[in-house]
Amino acid sequence: MPDDNNALPDLVELLLRVSQTTSKTKELEILPELRISNATLDEEQDRLCFTVSLKRAWLSLDLSGLEPVPGSRLGEPTRPNEVSVKRKTSRELVTKNQVSAGAGIRADMTSASASAKLDLGAKHTTAGTTIESTTSAESAPHIRVKARGNLMWEITDSPQLGELDGTFLNNEPLCRVKPKSGANAKTVQMSTFAKQRDVLLRLQKSNRPFPFLNVNQERLMKILIVKALSGPGTKFNGFIEFSRSEINVED
Amino acid sequence: MKTNITLDELITSSVIDLTRSFLSFEDKNFNAQVRFLDLDKKTDFKHADLAGVDFSHSDIRGFDFTGADLRGATGVDVQWDTTTSLKGANTDDSLFAYRIERDRLLAENPALAKQVARLSKEYWPNAILGVEKLLRDKNQPHRRRIAQAVFDETPDLVVRSNVLLFLRLATESGEEHRHFIYNIFASHGDETNVVRAAIRALAALYPDHKGTLNILMAYLDHQDATIRNEAFNGVLNSVHLKSVLDNVLPRVTAQDNGLHRRTLLGRIAQMAGPAYMAAALDSDVANFLDYTEIISARKTHSMAQNALLKEKYARIARSRHGKLEEGLNVKESEINKRAAEFQRLLKNLREQYRVPLRFEWEKMKNR
């Protein structure tokens, strides 16, 4: 029976299911649903409106008595083994005026002044220059749910880290796992979290962006709000866990 | 199953109350703001978004900025050391960038560290000439880094000032040079002459850089008048002046410095457009108007007449066929029309940019 806990389902909702692939291999598919949007708090007293959203989130999988099946993770950013590289070599003659300067500067901002010699010389030279440029052409699609090490997945909307808004996983296999030999209890745990620098906070007053007095005020206000979002009784350390799901797998 | 947890259960009324009072908290000091919000320096700043934060006059020793975004964070007179954790933090273009890079280089190259120690202890003319020679040595790939490290290590003000100027000539990358200057502000905030030289270099070389403006703004309230003056000059020439205009205008107005007021009105007129530039130009002093002086109708008449004459001269010079006598002859109606236009544009400047321009004709009307 899955146990899904979402601290703020308007902002992040994670639902976790597992499904047996075939009875022969005893492999399980991890099937999460992940929805991310924004959450708003309206303060009627002075018409302050806080909107919280994310620009990057992380999905973390913890396995007990189970291990991932190699090559089964969703969103592997596998680097192609071959890339096309163009090399262009050209030789050109460059005529340049070389100016050599011995820097002698009086320090006008000090009580004691230091003077040194100033010598300027110029010579006209013609030099042969070989220019070599190498370009490698490679295009890679943006992977929104990208597999990372340590059984983690990074969720982003675009390379520019736009606001996350939508369903990023919809019951599709995130990876396959198989029982470890001799394991008794088998548990799948999954959590969604974000670093506080990846939280976006919009503050409005009377439907207009709030004019912060300075950058410090804006940044520290965000820390205060994000810390509150991490929940009471939680030791805040820059991360906010939004969801935690757990399934005990029975034989 | 449907759950009804919403944001107000986490962001409680006590948090909102604190938010509300913080929004009207005017102290800009980072330490004061952290105290006000009762934030924990050991945990609350990990992975934080602190891009562009101003750490001026703050003690950030013991703060843990692990994984934080500190890009563009600046500050003057900042106390930080090895207890300030910057592990995994993004420190590009910040006051931290230079020192992190320097420490890494010297740790990896003990011979360079020795050279720095030797030059720093030399008698000042020898140290200056040693640095100058070093900067000319094209075979030494770390010559600028060594010179910068000498700047940090030497206790001699003359050596420091000279190294700063030499580096201005020798540094190719603007970013690297800026990092070095940011470090000067953070570490040598109590040395007036060095700070002045650094402000001047920063304002002259990087007027289009937002970080420069942040630094200059931090010096507008400095206790030393020469530093304040240098900072005002830099702010008034910044490409990003418009973003801080609300803050700068009242300060310049309150000053005794008429030149700053004239420069500021010129920059505001420049933002508004060429017609406004012409309307704000005080042709009697070949500078822009000092907006604290009452502007009379006679003044705008004189400005209009001079502007029209200038235009006529320019036309004659271009056409070759014109006669000087014709150029000198400007109809009174034309001058009055231009003067009225100037008055209208100056009123616009007052309304749009809140420049406290005062007009004699309005006073007379009120009477």
- Which residues 6+ apart lie within 8 Å of B338 measured at CB? B304, B307, B308
**β-pair partners for A1:** none
Residue B269, Cβ density class (10 Å: 0-12 exposed, 13-18 middle, ≥19 buried): buried
Terminal CA-CA length for chain B: 75
Least confident of A216-230, B101-115, B143-157: B143-157
Indicate the range of A138-142, B25-29, B130-134, B344-348 predicted with least confidence.
Answer: A138-142
Q: Is A47 on the interface with B (CB under 8 A)?
A: no
Is B53 at the interface with chain A, CB within 8 A? yes
**CA B190, CA B186: separation in Å to the nearest integer?**
10
Cβ-defined contact of A220 to B37 (cutoff 8 Å): yes
Of A193, A195, A194, A213, residue with least CA distance to A203? A213
Strands (E), A83-223: 84-102, 119-137, 145-148, 152-155, 166-170, 175-179, 186-195, 199-205, 208-209
Which pTM does this prediction carry? 0.67
Predicted confidence band of residue B313 (pLDDT cuts 50, 70, 90): confident
Residue B250 CB contacts under 8 Å (≥ 6 apart), including other chains: none
Nearest-10 crossing angle of helices B97-108, B143-153? 110
pLDDT of amino acid A198: 97
What are the residues whose beta carbons fall under 8 Å from the beta carbon of A167, sequence distance 6 or more?
A: A33, A34, A35
Residue B24: both structure tokens together: 């009207």
Minimum CA–CA partner of B18 in chain A = A224
Residue B47 C-alpha, separation from nearest chain A C-alpha, in angstroms:
5
Average pLDDT over residues A156-172: 95
Subunit contact B37:A223, Cβ cutoff 8 A: yes
Model confidence pLDDT, tens digit, residues B314-357: 877 777 665 665 656 788 898 999 999 999 999 999 999 999 99
Query: What are the extents of the domains in chain B?
Result: 42-261, 271-366
Range in A118-132, A232-246, B42-56, B333-347 with the lowest mean pLDDT? A118-132
- Indicate the pLDDT class of residue A89, thresholds 50, 70 and 90: confident
| Dist. CA A177–CA A65, nearest whole Å | 10
Task: Identify the pLDDT of residue B4.
Answer: 66
Give chain B positions within 8 Å (CB) of A50: 7, 11
Which of A61, A82, A94, A66 is CA-nearest to residue A137?
A82
Check CB contact under 8 Å for A105 and B10: no
pLDDT value at B37 more than 50: yes
Angle at A158 between CA A153 and CA A164, to 5 degrees: 70
**Residues B272, A129: Cα–Cα separation, whole Å:** 49
Element (H, E) at B178: helix B174-187
CA distance A190 to B147: 53
Tens of pLDDT, residue by residue over B199-255, are 888 888 889 988 889 889 989 988 899 899 999 999 999 999 999 999 999 999 998
Which residues of chain B from 142 to 161 reach within 8 Å of chain A, CB to CB?
157-158, 161
B41: Cα separation from own chain's centroid:
29
DSSP class of B171: -
Range from A121-130, B140-149, B285-294 carrying the lowest mean pLDDT = A121-130
How many Å apart are CA B168 and CA B177, to the nearest integer?
8
**Cβ of B162 and A107 within 8 Å?**
yes
Is the pLDDT at A251 greater than 80? The verdict is: no
Distances (CA, A) of B201 to B122, B127, B144, B198: 26, 22, 17, 5
> Would you call B132 and A236 a contact, using CB atoms and an 8 Å cutoff?
no
User: What class, spelled out in words, does domain A3-76+140-249 have in CATH?
Assistant: mainly beta
- Residue B234: DSSP 8-state: H
pLDDT of residue B144: 85
Mean pLDDT of A188-193: 96
Complete DSSP assignment for B312-351: HHHHHHHHS---HHHHH---HHHHHHHHHHHHHHHHHHHH
Which residues in B lie closer than 8 A to residue A40 (C-beta atoms)? 7
The pLDDT mean for chain A works out to 82
Instruction: Classify the C-alpha dihedral B53-A231-A147-A35 as positive or negative.
Output: negative
Burial, B348: exposed, middle or buried (Cβ in 10 Å; 0-12, 13-18, 19+)? middle
- Picking from A214, A218, A230, A234 by the largest number of B CB atoms within 10 A of its own CB, the best residue to mutate is A214
Chain B residues within 8 A of A117 when measuring between CB atoms: none
Mean pLDDT over A164-177 rounds to 96
A36-50, A151-165, B115-129, B279-293, range with greatest mean pLDDT: A151-165
B72 token code pair? 């563009």
In angstroms, the separation between the Cα of residue A3 and the nearest Cα of chain B is 11
* Cα–Cα separations (whole angstroms), residue A2 to A16, A29, A151, A180, A247: 7, 14, 20, 21, 5
Where b means 16+ CB within 10 Å and e means fewer, B317-326 reads eeeeeeeeee
* Residues from chain A contacting residue B12 (CB–CB below 8 Å): 228
Q: Which chain B positions have a beta carbon within 8 Å of A214's beta carbon?
A: 28, 54
Q: Is the pLDDT of residue B39 over 60?
A: yes
Interface contact A185, partner B, CB < 8 A: no
Contact status of B49 with chain A (Cβ, < 8 Å): yes
Residue B157 has pLDDT above 50, yes or no: yes
Answer with the residue of higher pLDDT: B285 or A31.
A31
Max mean pLDDT among A179-188, B192-201, B267-276 falls in B267-276
| A188 contacts A247 by C-beta, under 8 angstroms | yes
Chain B contact for A116 (CB, 8 A cutoff): yes
CB B76 within 8 A of CB B231: no
CA-closest candidate to residue B280, choices B307, B251, B253: B307
Beta bridge partners of A51: A40, A202
Share of chain A above pLDDT 90, in %: 53
Mean pLDDT of B160-173: 76
Query: What end-to-end distance do the CA atoms of chain A give, in Å?
Result: 13
Q: CA B275, CA B252: separation in Å to the nearest integer? A: 24
Residue burial A42-57, b: 16+ Cβ < 10 Å; e: rest: ebeeeebbbbbbbbeb
| Distance (Å) from the alpha carbon of A221 to chain B's nearest alpha carbon | 7
pLDDT (tens digit per residue) in B92-120:
989 999 888 888 899 999 988 999 999 99
Which two structure tokens, joined as six digits, stand for B341?
A: 């236009």
Task: Please state the ipTM of this predicted complex.
Answer: 0.78
pLDDT at position B192, please? 82
A57 and A78 Cβ atoms separated by less than 8 Å: no
Min Cα distance A8 → chain B (Å) is 6
Nearest residue in chain A measured CA to CA from B2: A9
Residue A123 pLDDT > 90, yes or no?
no
Going by pLDDT thresholds of 50, 70 and 90, the confidence category of residue B271 is: very high
Residue of B nearest to A194 (CA): B47
The predicted model gives B356-362 an average pLDDT of 89
Q: Examine the pLDDT at A130 and tell me if it is beyond 70.
A: no
Do B184 and B164 form a contact (C-beta atoms < 8 A)? Answer: yes
Window 213-242 of B: residues touching A by CB (8 A cutoff) are 214
Alpha helices in chain A (DSSP H): 215-229
A202 touches chain B (CB under 8 A): no
Confidence of residue A97 (pLDDT cuts 50, 70, 90): very low
CB contact under 8 A, A9 and B54: no
Domain with CATH 2.60.40 in chain A: 3-76+140-249
Q: How far apart are CA B48 and CA B60, in angstroms?
A: 15
CB contact under 8 A, A238 and B6: no
- Per-residue pLDDT at A23 exceeds 70: no
pLDDT tens readout for residues A36-77: 999 988 877 677 888 999 999 999 999 999 999 999 999 998
